[in-house]
Amino acid sequence: MRWKNKEYMPEIFISTDVETDGPIPGLYSMLNFASAAYKANGDRLDTFTANLENLPEASQDPHAMEFWSRHPEVWADIRSNLQSPAEVMPRYAAWLEALPGKPVFVGYPIAFDFMFVYWYLIRFHGESPFGHNGIDIRSYAMALLKKDYRDMNISDMPHRWRSKHKHTHNSLDDAIEQGELFTNMLRDNLS
């Protein structure tokens, strides 16, 4: 719940996916990220995506680059129309703050995606509209289905939760897929 100027602000769920060239921010770069903003009822409000220039001081992880060598079309897509993180992250924060509610980060897995987005927001914008808050889709599924965490891959989840969008390793496609998965779970839980 959020109150702004004495007006209630609902939660807006920000399904986010990142693509990187290594396992941690700073030493490696976030190459591309996308967010899809959803109301709790599953309505998608808007999307945001950007391809980022590499951090000048960063390197590339050999394991990550081996992965990208198997996905040359996606690699070509996320390495085109590059923008400076110093320009993108303040624009992203403004996009989040303009949404009609309190942004809540949603990820699959949250530990990886949130780490990169939070680091970039702090470094290039000075603060994060998310604070330290987020929801891990896999953990949420574990709680709803009363199963072990490791048994909560998307393929183990009920078909009624799954998105019709295909996982492509394009951040925007994957953010939409994950957002639909999460809001289907949320609707199931709240009905």
User: How do residues 160-170 score in pLDDT, each as one tens digit?
Assistant: 888 787 777 78
Please provide residue 138's backbone torsions phi and psi, each rounded to the nearest 5 degrees: -65, -40
The pTM assigned to this predicted structure is: 0.92
Q: Evaluate if residue 94 carries a pLDDT over 50.
A: yes
Neighbours of 186 (CB within 10 A): 21
Please report the pLDDT score of residue 176 as a whole number. Answer: 96
At 101-130, the pLDDT tens digits run: 999 999 999 999 999 999 999 999 999 999
Q: What is the DSSP letter of 106?
A: E
Average pLDDT over residues 22-40: 97
For the stretch 30-61, what's the b/e string if a residue is b when 16 or more beta carbons lie within 10 angstroms of its beta carbon?
bbbbbbbbbbbeeeeeebbbbbbebbeebebb
Of 4-8, 135-139, 170-174, give the range with the top mean pLDDT.
135-139
At 32-46, the pLDDT tens digits run: 999 999 999 999 999
Domains of the chain: 2-190 (3.30.420.10)
- Percent of the chain scoring above 70 in pLDDT: 96
